[in-house]
């Protein structure tokens, strides 16, 4: 029987296994997790004939390198980056065959933050609460990749594992400016009218302290209308929470399920994939929209 597995040669700054996540467990204190740039993860899965829920690798900034024990088909998407197989350049954003024993190297992003690596058959680490995703906040799922680790692979789907025949699949470029549509509330009343105006009229920038838990910003501090803390309450994906320093934090996939800092607004879910690719220093604008 063929040994279908990937051996990690270079783990990179932070490479994790991600799929669609584990929504529906917030009442147990479990974040949803999953790929931050879900459309990019779905596209690379499609390119190698995987179902959309198959687990992929999510890299951060400087990629990763892996060696398959059997011949596989891979696709790399998300943040544009150089890709090599056995030291030879190959296509980014397209299916590529990697022979057994050759090293697939996903290089440093030339734009954006996170690249996604889909492998024919998917990464088949053990599921936890229905998902194979690594959750950095709760610690559920597999640990971030480490050099020398082996990741099991599934059997390719479809007729003989046929992949999509394209030269390059179009993908959105990482944002030069991050525009996040927000619905104000539920705790905008905890802030002065000027603070609410500042949120929606001033420009912020992505902080280097951002991670899978939240996109942190640098810019004007938002002034509270009165001091004090809220009792802990539920938090949702895209919540714009304001900690004591007054700088908004946009909650991403590994966000806590409860919190006591006031939430001044909530970002539209469809705008969050771009946040996954916004490099530190990227301008951020919060644009108010009406409730649906």
Q: Over pLDDT 70: what percentage of the chain? A: 95
pLDDT, mean over the chain: 94
Q: Specify the domain boundaries for CATH 2.40.100.10 within the chain.
A: 178-288
Could you give the CA distance from residue 142 to residue 21 in angstroms, rounded to a whole number? 13
Q: What is the pLDDT at residue 160?
A: 44
pTM (two decimals): 0.94
Of the candidate CATH numbers 3.40.50.2300, 1.25.40.10, 3.50.50.60, 2.40.100.10, the domain formed by 178-288 belongs to 2.40.100.10
- Residue 292: pLDDT band by 50, 70, 90 thresholds? low
Per-residue pLDDT band at 169 (split at 50, 70, 90): low
Q: What is the pLDDT of residues 59-115, one digit of tens each?
A: 999 999 999 999 999 999 999 999 999 999 999 999 999 999 999 999 999 999 999
pLDDT band at 165 (very low <50, low <70, confident <90, very high): low
Predicted local confidence at residue 1, as pLDDT:
43
Q: What is the pLDDT of residues 202-260, one digit of tens each?
A: 999 999 999 999 999 999 999 999 888 889 999 999 999 999 999 999 999 999 999 99
Asked if pLDDT for residue 159 goes beyond 50, the answer is no
The answer on pLDDT for 19 being more than 60 is yes
């Amino acid at each position: 029987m063929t040994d279908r597995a990937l051996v990690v040669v270079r783990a990179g700054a932070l490479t994790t296994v991600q799929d669609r996540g584990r929504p529906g467990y917030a009442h147990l204190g479990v974040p949803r997790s999953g790929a931050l740039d879900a459309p990019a993860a779905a596209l690379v899965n499609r390119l190698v004939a995987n179902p959309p829920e198959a687990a992929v690798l999510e890299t951060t900034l400087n990629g990763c390198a892996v060696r398959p024990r059997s011949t596989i088909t891979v696709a790399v998407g998300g943040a544009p980056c150089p890709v090599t197989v056995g030291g030879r350049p190959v296509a980014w954003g397209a299916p590529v065959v990697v022979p057994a024993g050759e090293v697939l190297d996903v290089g440093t992003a030339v734009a954006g933050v996170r690249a996604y690596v889909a492998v024919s058959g998917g990464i088949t680490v053990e599921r936890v609460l229905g998902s194979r995703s690594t959750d950095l906040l709760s610690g559920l799922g597999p640990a971030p990749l480490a050099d020398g680790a082996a990741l099991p692979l599934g059997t390719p789907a479809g007729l003989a594992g046929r992949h999509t025949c394209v030269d390059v699949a179009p993908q959105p470029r990482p944002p030069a400016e991050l525009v996040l549509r927000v619905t104000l509330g539920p705790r905008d009343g905890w802030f002065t009218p000027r603070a609410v105006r500042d949120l929606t009229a001033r420009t912020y920038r992505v902080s280097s302290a951002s991670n899978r838990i939240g996109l942190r910003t640098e810019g004007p501090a938002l002034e509270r209308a009165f001091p004090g803390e809220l009792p802990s309450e539920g938090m949702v994906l895209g919540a714009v929470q304001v900690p004591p320093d007054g700088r908004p934090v946009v909650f991403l996939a590994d966000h806590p399920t409860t919190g006591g800092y006031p939430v001044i607004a909530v970002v539209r879910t469809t705008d969050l994939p771009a946040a996954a690719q916004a490099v530190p220093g990227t301008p951020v604008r919060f644009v108010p929209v009406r409730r649906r």
